[in-house]
Amino acid sequence: MRHEEFARRAEGRLEAEADRLEGQARELGIGGGAAKTAARAGELRVAALLVREEAEEAGEAEERRPTADAPPLEAQT
């Protein structure tokens, strides 16, 4: 599985869980439980962002890395 595909799947799952938690927080109304649940939902959204950014960086690094099949640049000249 490519990094980008993994990131999209992980991001979607984290966002869905954050949405679920925010729904619970709304149902709980004002109070400590709702605040904690809303904070956890925010943490999941940050995690989704970090997963996506890490996958993008890994994908870019992979693109910059020479493939095993390609001869070294010195041999190509």
Fill in the amino acid letter for 28. L
DSSP state of 2: -
DSSP 1: -
Q: pTM for the full model?
A: 0.62
Q: Is the pLDDT of residue 67 over 80?
A: no
Nearest to 4 by CA among 73, 51, 72: 51
Residue 70: pLDDT band (50, 70, 90) is: low
In the predicted model, what is the mean pLDDT of residues 39-48? 87
Cβ atoms of residues 44 and 14 within 8 Å: yes
Q: How far apart are the first and last CA of the chain?
A: 34
